[in-house]
Structure 1
């Protein structure tokens, strides 16, 4: 989910929204199918999650279910969340601006050492920021990172 209001990630916005005493029902429509992130959204109190690959009927059903006080997951979102092992923590992390920028540059094809040169930092610092961002999002492998970057449209 791309950022809003100058933030690097919409999760911060959703967190603030979920803390409001009187908040609207929130339906997230996303291409992200990472089970930890979707479970993290549910932990934030999101009312419905729709995978963009599911039918338009899912959106209509989500509106109906949430209007009546229920929680809704489209078929693909439900399948992704059901794949989460019981011992795996849910993650809907908020990346720092630098972590987001490292991800963006990494997705553009730059190597860690090239990103480090661009920021005037050591490769170790940039690698740490990359790992920190991955941890916040519940991504454990390079393959998961690349898939996440693909899903959000950076690759």
Structure 2
């Protein structure tokens, strides 16, 4: 009998986890062995459960998906993480791959691509939803790389949190780093994106799809 692929689901919405679990349980060779509602919890249970694949959302309270992936892979470099996100914007997909995610699946293609994406990632290959793959190809052809793609994963996460209205102290607490470090990152982000005020930062974040209007 073939070995089952073990999976842990990470999403702050229980209804999303339940829906994904239902889809996966229709596949005899998939087994969901755990769930987590935050990146912090995912980091904890990965060591205990050692799943073949971790399916993770990016937009979660706390340190968020990107930072969670970065920390997990720093400690468990062979972990296979598939991002399942509502974001169809290249900025999120690029950042997820930059920190080491093995795939990027959008929630609107979940039913069609979930099985294929997990099989692809399990085999060690990279999976991208068709729409994301097309956008990446178009960007590569046009050569028009938005400055937001030049941000490091840590800079991007702080950019996202600033755009969502968190102050420096709250971001420092969320990411478990000092306020001075956050302030330094904020300065670098503004320089890289050529923005000066909080309003400009929010407008830019809306333009590139990091937050919704």
Query: TM-score, length-normalised on structure 2?
Result: 0.46
For the 8 Å contact 2:88–2:132, the answer to whether it is kept is yes
1:148 aligned counterpart, secondary structure: coil
CA RMSD of aligned residues (A): 3.7
1:148 aligns with 2:203: no
- Number of residues of Structure 1 aligned to a counterpart in Structure 2: 125
CA shift in 2, pair 1:103/1:142, >3 Å: closer
Q: What residue number does 2:122 align with?
A: 67
CA 1:92 to 1:76, structure 2 compared with 1: closer, same or farther past 3 Å?
farther
Which segments of 5 or more consecutive residues in structure 1 lack a partner in the other structure?
Answer: 107-114, 116-127
**Higher relative contact order (CA closer than 8 Å, sequence separation 6+):** 1
Q: CA offset at residue 67 of structure 1?
A: 1.4
For residues 118-137 of structure 1, the aligned pairs below 5 Å read 129=186, 132=189
Alignment deviations for residues 64-97 of structure 1 (CA, whole Å, 9 cap, x no partner): 111111111111221232233447345463334x
In structure 2, stretches of 5+ residues that fail to align are 1-57, 168-184, 194-199
Aligned partner (choices 82, 91, 98) of residue 43 of structure 1: 98
Highest CA radius of gyration, 1 or 2? 2
- How many Å separate the matches in 1 of 2:112 and 2:78? 25
1:104 to 164, 171, 182: 164
If each structure's strand is expressed as a fraction of its own residues, which one has the higher value?
Answer: 2
